[in-house]
């Protein structure tokens, strides 16, 4: 008789994450892959096959949440969900259930006939997790591309799609790796000069957090906007380009100052949305964070004037033989299984 494994999948447009639980619901492994679904959709099929091959000798139960349907290689979100569902069916081994916006897990036949219920559901898993905790009021999920601001008892119907969440300020299209810096502001101060940015994708937020030593890209498979690695020199070079310069060592300290400005701007945009959501009444809230940008929680808390708790001090999941930070950085994949357990 085969041992059981429970796999939580978070299939995103830029990253796919798989959290593996053993039959006692202990987290024993976590896989992540930077897959640009809009650029080469076939890569996701290869990743599905890769994971399936690793665990082919187990009885597998998969719990899947999807956000990649918004990628612009698809005609619309229904087309995106349909294509992803068919690839899950054909290339992921084991039993498969898909998470819906009605807080249910459904099989393939139900999912393919009600694709609109599967649009961008991963934040809803975080919402369910938050509502089960008494000591926090808000979780900020800061990813590579977007930031989800999820508060206690958040109404699903009022935030049913990306449009409504953008209206309600609960979705901010800003992440710690992929956001072009020229989309964050039009002008910056550099050496005392007010400079208009070059409106090209020359540099991204990944360069900012690389230069500020917030993210160790040597452990990740991301490439910069020029398809080169996130070395310090490459990040300086890309940052210089958005103000019309070639990188020289003499510009180094000035560019570091500029990178710090962009980091502050990034944080301020999150705080602005939080204040709008809570109508500036934030004195008594306690916040936490998950995702690749969760390292920002202390600064956000300090600048907001609110308390914070690290997610590892709140969560009671058991993790064995893997880096806990990796789990909490990619937590939505774990929450897919945890939601099922709680049900």
Domain segments of the chain: what residues?
4-123+317-342, 135-313
Whether the per-residue pLDDT at 85 is higher than 70: the answer is: yes
Confidence band, pLDDT 50/70/90 cuts, at residue 63: very high
pLDDT on residue 275: 95
Whether the per-residue pLDDT at 179 is higher than 80: the answer is: yes
Distances (CA, A) of 70 to 118, 150, 228: 12, 20, 26
pLDDT on residue 270: 98
Secondary structure (3-state) at 276: helix
Helices 252-277 and 232-241: crossing angle in degrees, nearest 10, is: 80
Burial track 88-112 (b if 16+ CB lie within 10 A, e otherwise): beebbbbebbbbbbeeebbeeeebb
| pLDDT cut 90: percent of the chain above it | 92
Instruction: Indicate if 135-313 has the same CATH topology as 4-123+317-342.
Output: yes
Name the class of domain 135-313: alpha beta
pLDDT on residue 343: 67
Confidence band, pLDDT 50/70/90 cuts, at residue 315: confident
Confidence band, pLDDT 50/70/90 cuts, at residue 314: confident
Secondary structure (3-state) at 5: strand
Whether the per-residue pLDDT at 300 is higher than 80: the answer is: yes
Tell me which fold the domain 4-123+317-342 belongs to. Answer: Nucleotidyltransferase; domain 5 (3.30.420)
Kindly state the tokens that stand for 213: 């030593």
| Beta bridge partners of residue 289, listed in sequence order | 140
**How many other CB atoms are found less than 10 A from the CB of residue 24?**
9
Kindly report the average pLDDT of the chain as a whole number.
Answer: 95
Instruction: Tell me the average pLDDT across 308-317.
Output: 88
Whether the per-residue pLDDT at 342 is higher than 90: the answer is: no
Residues 244-283: pLDDT tens digits? 999 999 999 999 999 999 999 999 999 999 999 999 889 8
pLDDT on residue 254: 98
pLDDT on residue 176: 98
Instruction: Tell me the average pLDDT across 131-138.
Output: 93
pLDDT on residue 317: 82
Kindly state the tokens that stand for 299: 């600064």
Helices 122-131 and 331-342: crossing angle in degrees, nearest 10, is: 60
3-class SS letters over 69-133:
HHCCCCCCHHHHHHHHHHHHHHHCCCEEEEECCCCCEECHHHHHHCHHHHCCCHHHHHHHHHHCC
Report the candidate in 188, 226, 189 with the shortest Cα–Cα distance to residue 206: 226
Which residues touch 145 (CB under 8 Å, ≥6 apart)?
A: 12, 13, 14, 173, 175, 177, 178, 179
Maximal CA-CA distance, the chain: 71
Instruction: Tell me the average pLDDT across 108-131.
Output: 95
Residues 199-239: pLDDT tens digits? 999 999 999 999 999 999 998 999 999 999 999 999 999 99
């Amino acid at each position: 008789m085969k041992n059981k494994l429970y796999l939580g999948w978070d299939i995103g447009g830029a990253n796919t994450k798989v959290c593996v639980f053993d039959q006692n619901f202990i987290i024993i492994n976590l896989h992540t892959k930077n897959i640009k679904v809009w650029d080469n959709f076939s890569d996701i099929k290869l990743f599905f096959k890769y994971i399936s091959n690793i665990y082919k000798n187990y009885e597998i139960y998969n719990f899947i949440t999807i956000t990649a349907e918004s990628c612009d290689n698809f005609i619309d979100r229904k087309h995106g969900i349909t294509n992803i569902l068919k690839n899950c069916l054909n290339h992921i081994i084991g039993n498969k259930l898909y998470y819906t916006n009605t807080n249910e897990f459904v099989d393939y036949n139900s999912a393919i006939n009600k694709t609109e219920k599967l649009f961008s559901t991963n934040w809803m898993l975080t919402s369910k997790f938050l509502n089960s905790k008494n000591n926090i009021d808000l979780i900020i999920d800061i990813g590579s591309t977007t930031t989800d601001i999820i508060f206690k008892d958040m109404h699903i119907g009022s935030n049913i799609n990306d449009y409504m969440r953008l209206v309600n300020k609960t979705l901010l299209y800003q992440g710690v790796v992929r956001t072009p810096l020229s989309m964050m502001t039009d002008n910056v101060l550099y050496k005392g000069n007010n400079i208009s940015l070059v409106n090209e994708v020359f540099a991204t937020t990944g360069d900012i957090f690389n230069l500020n030593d917030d993210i160790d890209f040597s452990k990740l498979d991301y490439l910069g906007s020029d398809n080169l690695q996130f070395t310090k020199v490459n990040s300086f070079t890309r940052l210089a380009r958005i103000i019309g310069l070639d990188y020289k060592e003499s510009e180094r300290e000035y560019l570091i100052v500029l990178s710090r400005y962009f980091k502050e701007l990034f944080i301020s945009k999150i705080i602005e949305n939080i204040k709008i959501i809570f109508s500036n009444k934030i004195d008594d809230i306690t916040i936490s964070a998950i995702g690749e940008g969760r390292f920002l929680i202390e600064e956000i808390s300090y600048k907001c004037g609110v308390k914070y708790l690290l997610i590892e001090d709140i969560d009671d999941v058991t993790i064995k033989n893997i880096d806990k930070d990796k789990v909490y950085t990619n937590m939505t994949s774990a929450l897919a299984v945890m939601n099922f357990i709680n049900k």
